[in-house]
Chain A
Amino acid sequence: MASPSTTADAAIPEKKGADDNYLTHDKGFASWAFTLDHKRIGVMYLASVLSAFALGGFFALAVRTELWSPGKTIMEHDTYNQMFTLHGAIMVFLVIIPGIPAALGNIILPLHLGAKDVAFPKLNLASYYLWIIGCICMLASLAINAVDTGWTFYAPYSTTTQTAVIPAAFGAFILGFSSIFTGLNFIVTIHKLRPPGMTFFRMPLFVWALYSTALIQVLATPVIGITLLMMMVERVFGLGIFDPALGGDPVLFQHFFWFYSHPAVYIMIVPAFGVVSEIIPVFSRKRLFGYQFIAISSLAIAFLGFLVWGHHMFTSGQSVLAGTIFSAITFLIAIPTAIKIFNWVSTMYKGRIHLDTPMLYALAFLWVFTIGGLTGVFLAVMGVDIHLHDTYFVVAHFHYVMMGGAITAFLGGLHYWFPKAFGKMYDERTGRIGAVIVFIGLNLTFFPQFILGSRGMPRRYYNYLPEFQGLHQLSTIGAFTLGMGFLLTAISLGRALKHGKKAPNNPWGGVTLEWTTVSPPPYYNFHTPPPVTAGPYDGYEDLVYDEKIGGYVSKKA
C-alpha cells in the first residue's frame, strides 16, 4: 500500500523503504530544529505548549493552595499577585491561543486538505521560533521580578508597578506575531492549496474553524501588538497616552485591550468547536447534522466577536447607550453558538455512539461549554453584570469556557489524532479514566466558584471572609483532582509513545482525508494526492472494522 512505485511517489527518496515516515525521515537535532515540515513543526509546538501548560498548571495549583484558608497559607500577598498573573498570562498567551491552531492545526490542516505542506513553510518555522522567544521573555519576567498586573496589563498600574512588566508585555507582543503569522499561513493554505474537487463546502469543519480563527488572528492581534507597545513606551518614556497623571486616558487602554482580547476569546474557542465537530460524527458513526450551519456559524462568531468588546467594560464608565448595544450584540453570539450545540446533539441522535476517549472529551466539552456559554449570557446582562463584575462568577464562567471548553477539546483532539500523528495507540482504559477524572475535577473546581461569585467573593483577592472557606476548599480539592487527571493522561500518552501498539491507518473510522494516508504520515503526506468527490462526512457506511489490524478499512478493498 505504501510502496513508492507511481510517478507521484518519485518525491519520496528511493533509499527509504515503505516504512519511511516524517518521524524517521531525517535524524538528529538539526533535522528537527530547522525542519520546514508542518508535522514536525506541529509536534514541536505540541511539546512546547504542553510544557507551558504544566508550568501554568503549577501556578494555578499554587494559587488554589494559597486560597485553602483565609490569610496567609503558603505565600505572601505580593507573591500571590505574581502567581495568578503568571498563571493567566501563560495559559492565555502560551497555551490556549497556540494550543489547537498551532499544535494540532499544523499537524492536521495540510492532511485535511490533502496538501503537501502549509503555504509558507519557512514562515511557519519562524512562527514557532517567535513563540519560543515570547516564551523566554515571559520567563525572563518570572526570573527578574514576576509581573503582578494580572494578564490584562491594565494601565496605569502596568505603567507604574515596580515588577518586570516590560519583559512579560514584550513576550506577549512577540507571541502576537507568532499568532498572526500562523493565521496568515493558514488562510493562504486554505485558499490556495485545496485539492481539485474540494470546494469550500467540502472542507472538514476543523478547517472551517481554523479559517475563522485565522481571520480573527490576522485582524485582531495587530491591535494588541500596538497597545502593548504603547504601554511599554509609556512605561519607559512617560508618553501620557494611558496614564491619567500625565493627561492620558486609562479607559482607552481597556478599549484597545478588549478590542483584541475579546476576539481572542474566540481564537481560543472556535478551533475547539472544530475539533468537536470532527470527533462527534466519527464516534456516532453518522453523517454530521447541519454541516453548512456549523461552518457558517464559525464565521458568524468570528464576525460578531469583533463587536462586543465593550461588555468587559460595563463598569468602566462607558455610556449606558454603548453598554446596551454591546450587551445586545453579545446576546446575538448565543445564536451561532447554540446552532453548533444543537447540531452536535442532533448528530448523536440515533447514532451508534462509541464511548472512546476522544468522544468522552467531546461529551465533556458539550456539558461544560454549555454551562460556560450560558453563564456568559448572564454576564452580558448589564444589571446582572454590575453585581457579578470582577467576582468569582466571572472566573468560573471563563474557566468553564477556556479550561472546560478549549482545553477539553484540545485533549480530545490530541487523543483523536495521536495515533495518526505518532503511529502509536495509547491505552484506551487509562485514557478513559483520565477523561473522567478531568471532567470531575473540572466541575469540582469551578462550580463552587459560581456560588462564591454570586455571594460576592471578588476575584484576584488574597484574603477572604471565613464564610467562603468551605467553597474555596472544595475548589482547591477539585484543582488537585484536575491535576491528577492531567498527570495520568500525560503518563498514559508518554508511555504510548514508547510502548504503544502500532496504530492502524484508520483506528476510529474517520472519513476525512488524514485517515486515508498511513500512520504516521509519510514525509509528503500522501503517496498520491487524494481525489475529493464527496463531502467531508460522507461514507461511514463504506467502512468496516477489521479485527486483525484494529482499525477500519474500506469495504471495496
Chain B
Amino acid sequence: MSEPSTETQAAHKASAPPPAVHDGHGHDDHGHGAHDPIHAANPHLAHHFDTPQQQFDAGKLGIWLFLLTEVLFFAGLFCAYTVYRSMHPEVFVYAHYFLDTKLGALNTCVLLISSLTAAWAVRNAQLAEKKMLMINIVVTIGCACTFMCVKYVEYAHKYHDGLLPGHNFQPKEQIWELKSFRDKHPEAAEYAEKLAKLDEKKAAPAAAAPAGAALNPAAPGAEAATPGKVEEHAEVLERPTEEELEPLLAAGLVGPRSLDPSAHISRPRMAHVFFGIYFFMTGLHGFHVLIGIGIWVWMLLKAAKGHFGPTYFGPIDFTALYWHLVDLIWIYLFPLLYLIH
C-alpha cells in the first residue's frame, strides 16, 4: 500500500487542503484563533490547540478514558452477575433455556459486521473517500437498527411469555415444554413431565390448593399430600436414570432428595433474578446501541458536508472506538446469558 498506513502519518500530512465547507462547528465563542497560519489552514482546529496532531491526541486519550469508564460501568453488572451465578448456578441453567440462541447468534453476527464497517469508515475518513465513508456509516447504522429490531422481537417474546423481572415473573411455560430443553435432554423432559403429572394428581385431592400449586414454590400444597397417597403414586415412577435426572438437578427443578421419586418438581425459587439481570444488562447495552445510532447519524451529516480528511478524522475514529466497545460488551453478554451449561 502506498498510502500512509497509520493514523499518525495520515494526520501529519497537514499540507492537504482543508475541506471547502466550514459549517461553524468550531468553537464560535472562542473563534478568534484563525489568525495564525496553522489555524487558518485548519478550520476544524479548536483555538486552544496548537496543531491538528495535538487536537487528535487529546481526543484519542479522552475517548480511551471514556471507554474505561464505560467498562467500569458495566463491570458493576458483570460483578453482580458473577456473584449471583456463583450463589445460584441452577437459576442460570434453568433460565437460559428460555433464551433464543439463534437470535442471539444472529445479533452477534450483525454487530460484528457493523464493527467491520465502522473500522472501514475510519480508513475512508483518513483518505477523504467521502462516498465510501457515507456508505460504510449507513451500513453500520443499518446493522445497529437490525440489532435493535431483533432485540425488540426477543423482548416481545419474553413479555408475552411472562418472563419479566421481580414480581412480574409469571412464566407461561415450563422448561420441559420448551423445544430448547427437549432437543437437548429428551429423557429428562419426559421424566419431568411425568413428575409434574404426578404432582398434579397429588395436589388434586387437596381441595384448598389451586391448580398448578405444585409448581408454585410458595405453596406447601404438594408436600402436604397425605403419606398414603404418596406411597400409591410412588409406584408410578421408576428410579430415574442419570440422563433423566442430571439436567433437572442442574436447573434446580428437583432437589437432591428427588432420588426419592415421589418428590415434586418446581422451578428454582430465585428464577426471576436471572431475568432481572438479563433485562438490565441487555437493556443498558441496547441503550448504548441507541446512543451509538444517534452519534453515527450525526457523523453521517458531517461526512455529507465533506468535513473529513487526512488532517481531520478524529470524530469518526472516536465514534468507531465507542462502537467497537459496544460490540465487545455484546460479545461478552452473548455467551454469559445465552450459552450457559
Contacts and interface: CB of A to CB of B under 8 A. Distances in A.
B27 A121 contact: yes
A149 B74 CA distance: 26
B69 A241 contact: no
Interface in A435-477: none
A251 to B, nearest CB: 10
A237 B69 contact: no
B36 interface: yes
A288 to B, nearest CB: 29
Interface string B67-82: 0111011111101100
B273 A11 contact: no
Given A222-B73, A239-B166, A239-B280, A11 B65 contact: no
Contacts of A117: 30, 47-48
Nearest to A36: B29
A240 B29 contact: no
Nearest to B28: A36
B30 A36 contact: yes
B174 interface: no
A249 B276 CA distance: 14
A395 interface: no
B35 interface: yes
Given A117-B48, A237-B276, A241-B273, A249 B83 contact: yes
Contact of A187 (B35, B65, B77, B80): B65
Contacts of A185: 62
B168 interface: yes
A433 B277 CA distance: 57
A198 to B, nearest CB: 14
Nearest to A525: B48
Contacts of A10: 35-36
Contacts of A223: 72-73, 75-76
B29 A238 contact: no
B12 interface: no
Contacts, number: 130
Contacts of B280: 230, 233, 239
Interface string A101-136: 000000000000001110111110000000000000
A222 B61 contact: no
Interface in A118-160: 119-123
Interface residues of B, number: 46
B48 A226 contact: no
Interface in B34-83: 35-36, 46-49, 54, 57-58, 61-62, 65-66, 68-70, 72-77, 79-80, 83
Interface in A227-276: 227, 229-230, 233-234, 237-241, 246-249, 252, 256
B47 A116 contact: yes
B84 interface: yes
A231 B173 CA distance: 30
A110 B182 CA distance: 66
A247 B270 CA distance: 6
Nearest to A38: B48
B32 interface: yes
Contacts of A234: 166
Contacts of B167: 237-238
Interface in A182-230: 184-185, 187-188, 191-193, 218-223, 225-227, 229-230
B261 interface: no
Interface size class of A (residues with CB under 8 A): 35 or more
B65 A241 contact: no
Given A193-B58, A222-B70, A226-B77, A241 B48 contact: no
A35 interface: yes
A192 B57 contact: yes
B212 interface: no
Nearest to B87: A249
A184 B36 CA distance: 29
A550 to B, nearest CB: 32
B33 interface: yes
B189 to A, nearest CB: 27
A184 B65 contact: yes
A184 B70 CA distance: 12
A116 B33 CA distance: 11
Given A237-B166, A237-B168, A239-B165, A116 B48 contact: yes
A12 B33 CA distance: 9
A241 B272 CA distance: 10
A514 interface: no
Nearest to A253: B80
Interface string B156-172: 00000000111110000
A247 B218 CA distance: 13
B69 to A, nearest CB: 5
A13 interface: yes
Contacts of A122: 27
Contacts of B168: 237-238
Contact of A240 (B32, B54, B69, B272): B272
A7 interface: yes
B94 to A, nearest CB: 14
Contacts of A13: 32
B269 interface: yes
Contact of B276 (A188, A227, A239, A256): A239
Contact of B74 (A187, A226, A247): A226
Contacts of B270: 240, 247
A10 B277 CA distance: 58
A219 B72 contact: yes
Interface string B269-299: 1101100110010001000000000000000
B68 A218 contact: yes
A36 B27 contact: yes
A119 B62 contact: yes
A115 B49 CA distance: 9
A481 B243 CA distance: 77
A385 interface: no
Given A237-B168, A241-B277, A119 B58 contact: yes
Contact of A252 (B72, B74, B83): B83
Interface string A160-195: 000000000000000000001000110110011100
Interface in B107-140: none
A12 B30 CA distance: 10
Contact of B62 (A37, A184, A226): A184
Contact of A256 (B29, B33, B69, B76): B76
Contact of A246 (B48, B166, B284): B166
Contact of B273 (A34, A116, A247, A256): A247
A11 B35 contact: yes
Given A36-B30, A187-B65, A226-B75, 5 more contacts: A10-B36, A119-B58, A188-B61, A222-B69, A249-B87
- 10 closest A-B pairs by beta carbon, nearest first, are A238-B166, A226-B76, A239-B276, A116-B48, A222-B72, A222-B73, A117-B48, A192-B58, A247-B270, A10-B35
Interface of A: 7, 10-13, 34-37, 115-117, 119-123, 180, 184-185, 187-188, 191-193, 218-223, 225-227, 229-230, 233-234, 237-241, 246-249, 252, 256
17 contacts: A36-B30, A37-B29, A121-B30, A123-B62, A187-B61, A188-B65, A192-B54, A219-B72, A223-B75, A226-B73, A226-B74, A226-B75, A226-B76, A237-B165, A237-B168, A240-B272, A240-B276
Interface of B: 27, 29-30, 32-33, 35-36, 46-49, 54, 57-58, 61-62, 65-66, 68-70, 72-77, 79-80, 83-84, 87-88, 164-168, 269-270, 272-273, 276-277, 280, 284
